[in-house]
Structure 1
Amino acid sequence: MAAVIAAAVVTLGTTVAGVATAVSAQAAAGCQVTYEVTGQWTGGFTANVKIRNLGDAVNGWRLGWTFPAGQSITQAWGFTASPTSGSVVATNVDYNAAIATNATIEVGFNGSWTGSNPSPSTFTLNGTTCTGTTAPTTTPPPTTPPPASRPTVAADGTGTYRTVQDAIDAVPANNTQRVVITIKPGTYRQVVRVPANKPHLTLQGLGSSPSNVVLVYHNSAGTHGTSGSASMFVDGANFVAENLTISNDFDESSTTSGHQAVALHLNADRAVLRNVRLLGDQDTFLVNDRTRAYVKNSYVEGTVDFIFGGGTIVFDTSSIYEKRSSGGPITAASTDAAKTYGFLFYRSTITGAANNVTTLGRPWRQGAQVLYRESTLSATIRNSQPWTDMSGNTWQNARFLEYRNTGAGATVNGNRPQLSDAQAANYTPQRYLAGADGWNPM
């Protein structure tokens, strides 16, 4: 290796320059940015960028920095970059455009480099300079570079396979090593199944954002039952999806029955979704009982019960959107009463199409466990009564909790049970995911 990239964390100060305009694409804001190289190989690297807004809320952001000569972005997720080298300007993609005051979002990229120890300098958020110092941290071990330019899947015939399912089918049964299936930008319309005998699969979109690679179908509960209506079924353990969209585009308004239409039916232990969009109407995301999953920097939208099931899942720094103007419940957890943990929304953002119409959830099973922790709840949340009953199961007897949430939709009253600081130590993302094997994908 001609040179070694040192993992660097750039922590930028809290000075706010200029005048901030709330909720404006041109708003100036103070910021804190953490930049870290998380993987490296000869000629390339992967980096993670965490942006904390210390000024007024913004809706539309531009993060600027300067690369040294020889360093450039080759693939980005969570933003688009123009230019990709020199004085870079990273612009939000639609699903993470808003950053509330003190809120954080994360984006990342693969890059190429020459020279030694490259790191960006002079970060700006919407034109306002944030100053700070660079402190090196432990260099991560070398990692395997992304696959060569030829994608595994490309509908136009430039890949090894034309469909995602063909690529999955070609993986040997009971594989013991990770298999990365790269997918060229495009729309892939078919039902996709990852069977239980094909663990350790990664589906990786090759576009500049998750909207560039779309896996979509349109089954519904009317003909397939709710659990059988998914566009993607995942049963293989240790599954990873990155930088793509999974969608069910069945239109619930087109029929009076069978409204449920699942985008992703996840029935796999130790699954990870990073920079993924899940799109649907009612019942978008089924988190089935055997699931433990970690969802990072992702986006989920729907209308009713659009995150549901009996599994254990952590949404970390993700965006949840209720898209129906009349609102509805976000979650319908069916956690078994014997399980300590169900759904955790951690440092995430909850928004919706209208104010005071969205509820945080309802109990599909009486043992349902849901916690919104340190998240930003917008005015879409029905403030005085954010939990509701379901099919004879009362929300008061479910395990519904909040802890240190902020935003117009966050308050404390008799209908909003809160964790104490002492209790919160037992409800961390790590506790949710650890299980008996100590899994920690964070």
Structure 2
Amino acid sequence: MSETRSKARHRRRRGALAVGVPLALTAAGVMAYGNDLGVFGAGTQRTAAAADAATAAPAWAADVADGFASVNALGQNGTYGGRGGQTVTVKTLVDLEKYATATEPYVIVVAATITMNPVGKEIKVQSDKTIVGQGTSGQIVGGGFFLGQGVHNVIIRNLTIRDSYQGTWNDKDHDFDAVQMDGAHHVWIDHNDLRHMADGLIDSRKDTTYVTVSWNKLSDNNKTFGIGWTENVTADLTIHHNWFRETEQRNPSTDNVAHAHLYNNYLEDVAGTSINSSYGNYSRGKTKMVLENSYFQGVKNPVQRDSTAAVVQRGNVFSGTSGRNESGGTAFDPKSYYGYTLDKAADLPALLKSGTGPRSSIGTASTKAAAATTLTVAKDGSGQYTSVQKAVDAVPANNGSRVLIQVKPGTYRETVKVPSNKPHITIQGTGASRKDTVIVFNNAAGTPKPGGGTYGTGGSATVAVEADDFQARNLTITNDFDEGANQNLSGHQAVALRTAADKVFLDGIIVNGDQDTLLLDTAAKDKLGRVYVTNSYVTGNVDFIFGRATAVIDRSVITLKKRWDGTSAGYVTAPSTAANRKGILINRTTVGGDVAAGSFFLGRNWHAGGDASLDPQTTVRDSTLSAAVKSTPWSDMGGFSWKDDRFAEYKNTGPGSGSASSNRPQLSDSQAAGQEVADWLGDWTPTAG
């Protein structure tokens, strides 16, 4: 870009993202390039397939419920769904209903968006069923599931169930639920995204018992999760690690529940929206509730109880809440029924924003069924290919599963392009250090192309990625264009790595350059392009992290370089974000280098092509800033004022950090809660593959 522009227990991973153990930054905020990552395992990406005797069962197929759903009772030993029955993959309403209502056990993998007809239809699920979304592709639109009297041993997992809403917020005419249970037992509802239904997201009614509800995102709804509709005090439920966001009431409401164990849930009422919480957790009738280590943010009446009910509170956090917050009475000891481990309440916003909802690793076929194809590259001829591009060329078009390209140590002077019709590729260096494997070239924007013309900024990239679900790790990508030796050349932008795809995961790499090092783009202006960079280094001087992608630089090091003539001046970011999208987030990262104090801006607003409709965004938070960062860290570009766009900081430290002013906006705590890694990545959890 131009410098100037006109019992059984099921525990989940703790931490923000399932990407392995992050490297810790040293006290000085510097990581050495070296043997600091090691070599990652090959891994695989799995694809759905019908189970057969020769196929190894995927890990998720062995998962069983925790909490009360794990308790042996009523003739049922825990909750394991359709395990042991046939595994079928469905993409139509007819097939989904056929298998869900069958008397035999089934594992039903939902591999498409299925629209209910008529709207509000609830499939009557029978016992011994697992209904699981295939990765993030399983969606039920306009209806849900019904579990009637005596139905038992059912798992509903990893699905998005949404949009039966009929336009009336307090809708009393349409009982359209995501999951309704009337007299069922041993049910596990896990890792779903439930939202925008005409009535309840979950209704547990008429003595339904031995239920565990875990790791779900429940949002954009009025009557969210109701438990009761009975005078009998027999129900036992566990509700843990769920994110209730913008839900007005029943979060949950528990009426006449014998044992209600709620722990590690996050209830969030976002300020300034049309949805306002009426109450949070409600213990009604003769309920006995234990409420532990949950986080309530902005919620009105966060904890209520009737005079006949009990609430025992331990370790909860209340931030910006108001109204009733009650406890009293005696309850029970959950550990007398099952074991469990509490996460810290303060960790829940980040943990649950990233950890709830459908996972790409659930509902997909076994590793044996779709093992990654591995190609090897070696300069010395000891691999299958001598260049990285030749290995990419060998990947079949529209490949459906992961292809791992292992690159042996060496310097590969070439350009590499991963075209859009070759998704699921991982390029991984096999050396002890990311410095051992280097892909390098020296094109610049003004470099003449064979046959005429010049490369332009995007075309100058050493490595260009246009395919979704790309990963790179344990290697270095460099553009070593010599700006000083090419002063007569017009166009010194020299990109090392360009991405123009969604779900790009860059883990443990070095990206080296000067001007325009890392171009984070999208396939088109109206396309989403998410990039997650972690445990990595990015070096440069002018606009060297730029583009319109929704991008996170997390737990990394950004190194500022002097310019070709030895001067210190530059800009770290130049976002060109489309309106209503997220831009660049720099999180838990160190920014510094051997440059003069006060010589670098954190960013400037790039309205590419003079497009006034863009809304560039950079947020720098929880990071360490060296003295090289200017005290007024944002700058205008191309006649557009940065103050009209989105630039902010939050809780940065180091000599380059500063207090809030009109020239240095700082996020409030409530604003920062909506600008975390999970807010950028949405329904995608980067996972090594």
Q: TM-score, normalised by structure 2?
A: 0.45
Cα offset, 1:57, TM superposition: 3.8
Contact 1:151 1:184 in 2 (8 A): no
* 1:281 counterpart letter in structure 2: D
Q: Aligned equivalents of 1:267 and 1:360: distance in 2? A: 23
1:301 aligned residue (539, 543, 551): 539
Q: Aligned equivalents of 2:625 and 2:434: distance in 1? A: 24
Residue 102 (structure 1) aligns with: none
User: Any idea what the Cα deviations from partners look like across 1:127-159, whole Å, max 9, x if unmatched?
Assistant: xxxxxxxx9x9xx99978x999x9700010000
Which secondary structure does the structure 2 equivalent of 1:329 belong to? strand
Superposed, 1:364-403 pairs within 5 Å as 364-365=606-607, 367-383=615-631, 385-403=632-650
- Aligned-residue identity in percent: 46
2:378 aligned residue (143, 154, 158): 154
Is 2:459 the counterpart of 1:235?
Answer: no
Cα offset, 1:255, TM superposition: 2.4
Contact 2:462 2:496 in 1 (8 A): yes
* 2:522 counterpart letter in structure 1: D
Which secondary structure does the structure 1 equivalent of 2:473 belong to? strand
Is 2:476 the counterpart of 1:275?
Answer: no
User: Any idea what the Cα deviations from partners look like across 1:104-137, whole Å, max 9, x if unmatched?
Assistant: xxx45559xxxxxxxxxxxxxxxxxxxxxxx9x9
Q: In structure 2, list runs of 5 or more residues that go unmatched.
A: 1-10, 42-340, 344-360, 447-453, 524-528, 608-613
**Taking structure 1 as reference, are residues 189 and 58 closer, same or farther at Cα in structure 2, changes over 3 Å only?**
closer
**Taking structure 1 as reference, are residues 310 and 151 closer, same or farther at Cα in structure 2, changes over 3 Å only?**
closer
1:165 aligned residue (362, 383, 389): 389
1:347 aligned residue (567, 580, 588): 588
Superposed, 1:99-138 pairs within 5 Å as 107=37
Q: Aligned equivalents of 1:168 and 1:58: distance in 2? A: 36
Residue 361 (structure 1) aligns with: 603
**Taking structure 1 as reference, are residues 332 and 110 closer, same or farther at Cα in structure 2, changes over 3 Å only?**
closer
Contact 2:440 2:479 in 1 (8 A): yes
Cα offset, 1:398, TM superposition: 1.5
Is 2:513 the counterpart of 1:265?
Answer: no
Q: Aligned equivalents of 2:385 and 2:675: distance in 1? A: 43
Q: Aligned equivalents of 1:228 and 1:60: distance in 2? A: 31
Contact 2:623 2:651 in 1 (8 A): yes
Select between 365-374 and 402-411 the one with higher mean Cα deviation: 365-374
Cα offset, 1:303, TM superposition: 1.2
Contact 2:38 2:432 in 1 (8 A): no
Contact 1:204 1:243 in 2 (8 A): yes
Is 2:21 the counterpart of 1:48?
Answer: yes
Cα offset, 1:352, TM superposition: 2.3
Contact 2:34 2:434 in 1 (8 A): no
The structure whose Rg is larger is 2
Residue 18 (structure 1) aligns with: none
Is 2:565 the counterpart of 1:319?
Answer: no
User: Any idea what the Cα deviations from partners look like across 1:339-384, whole Å, max 9, x if unmatched?
Assistant: 331000010110122211010011111511000011111111012x
1:430 aligned residue (678, 683, 687): 678
1:420 aligned residue (665, 668, 672): 668
Q: Aligned equivalents of 2:381 and 2:22: distance in 1? A: 34
* 1:169 counterpart letter in structure 2: D
Superposed, 1:150-299 pairs within 5 Å as 152-222=376-446, 223-256=454-487, 257-290=490-523, 291-299=529-537
Cα offset, 1:50, TM superposition: 4.3
**Taking structure 1 as reference, are residues 183 and 224 closer, same or farther at Cα in structure 2, changes over 3 Å only?**
same
User: Any idea what the Cα deviations from partners look like across 1:32-72, whole Å, max 9, x if unmatched?
Assistant: xx9xxx89xxxxxxx7364365xx647678xxxxxxxxxxx
Which secondary structure does the structure 1 equivalent of 2:569 belong to? coil
Contact 1:151 1:158 in 2 (8 A): no
Contact 1:48 1:109 in 2 (8 A): no
Superposed, 1:3-82 pairs within 5 Å as 48=21, 50-51=23-24, 57=28, 79-80=34-35
**Taking structure 1 as reference, are residues 58 and 359 closer, same or farther at Cα in structure 2, changes over 3 Å only?**
closer
Which secondary structure does the structure 1 equivalent of 2:678 belong to? helix
Q: Aligned equivalents of 2:28 and 2:473: distance in 1? A: 28
Contact 1:368 1:399 in 2 (8 A): yes
Which secondary structure does the structure 2 equivalent of 1:380 belong to? coil
Q: Aligned equivalents of 2:23 and 2:427: distance in 1? A: 24
Cα offset, 1:393, TM superposition: 1.2
Q: Aligned equivalents of 2:560 and 2:537: distance in 1? A: 11
Which secondary structure does the structure 1 equivalent of 2:459 belong to? coil
Select between 196-205 and 225-234 the one with higher mean Cα deviation: 225-234
Q: Aligned equivalents of 1:346 and 1:331: distance in 2? A: 13
* 1:404 counterpart letter in structure 2: K
**Taking structure 1 as reference, are residues 9 and 236 closer, same or farther at Cα in structure 2, changes over 3 Å only?**
closer
Q: Aligned equivalents of 1:313 and 1:59: distance in 2? A: 22
Size of the alignment, in residue pairs?
332
Contact 2:372 2:402 in 1 (8 A): no
- Higher strand proportion: 1
Contact 2:29 2:590 in 1 (8 A): no
Which secondary structure does the structure 1 equivalent of 2:634 belong to? coil
Contact 1:189 1:216 in 2 (8 A): yes
Q: Aligned equivalents of 1:380 and 1:402: distance in 2? A: 16
Q: Aligned equivalents of 2:458 and 2:12: distance in 1? A: 44
Contact 2:512 2:539 in 1 (8 A): yes
Cα offset, 1:439, TM superposition: 1.1
**Taking structure 1 as reference, are residues 9 and 308 closer, same or farther at Cα in structure 2, changes over 3 Å only?**
closer
Contact 2:375 2:391 in 1 (8 A): no
Cα offset, 1:414, TM superposition: 2.5
Contact 1:332 1:363 in 2 (8 A): yes
Please tell me the root mean square deviation across aligned C-alpha atoms, in Å.
Answer: 3.3
Q: Aligned equivalents of 1:186 and 1:331: distance in 2? A: 31
2:684 aligned residue (418, 428, 439): 439
Cα offset, 1:425, TM superposition: 1.3
Cα offset, 1:228, TM superposition: 1.1
* 1:286 counterpart letter in structure 2: L
Residue 123 (structure 1) aligns with: none
Q: Aligned equivalents of 2:478 and 2:411: distance in 1? A: 10
Q: Aligned equivalents of 1:289 and 1:49: distance in 2? A: 27
Cα offset, 1:433, TM superposition: 1.2
